[in-house]
Amino acid sequence: MTYRVMTVCTGNICRSPMAEVVLRARFAAAGLADEVVVDSTGVSDEEWGNPIDQRARRVLVGHGYAGGDGHRARQVSADELADRDLALPMTALHARALRRLDPEANVVMLRRFDPAAPSVTDPHDERRLDIDDPWFGGPLEFEQCLDQIEAAADGVVAYVRDALADR
């Protein structure tokens, strides 16, 4: 049985497709590419159909990842969310939107998997785990975004590996 992971940001052209690419690479490196499917969406339809942001693509390629070729932005639906085993929002606002869409969904902030991220026990304080939107920045902000995604990626892989073992 396939384990399905969805990364989620606002427009699905920067953070969530970057996280999708990184997680696919990490699952492949862990030997789980055949057992785990990763995709990405946005909570908004403002970028519907657009490719990955070229600045995000450059940062990914510059770090040895696939560039997200073929990616087309799309908005998350309740049906898609219900079909995922794990949804990884980039911000507390995204997490709230997903929880409203499907209160039963397994929604976990991506940075909760980063061992160096701030400790957050109160769900109302999840914004401390936000991955800032690099859209308004330059190359440095896209590098910082990738750093935060990479810092959480191994934790996501370990979590999913444990979930697969429990099936």
Q: In what order do the strands lie in the sheet with 3-9?
A: 36-42, 3-9, 86-89
Give the angle 139-144-150 at the CA atoms, nearest 5°: 125
Helix axes 54-62, 139-165, angle to 10 degrees: 70
The residues annotated as belonging to the active site are: 9, 15, 133
Strands 86-89 and 3-9: parallel
The CA distance from 142 to 133, in Å, is: 8
Question: Cα separations (Å) of 57 from 7, 85, 100, 137?
Answer: 16, 27, 31, 15
DSSP class of residue 53 equals P
Chain centroid, CA 125 distance in Å: 19
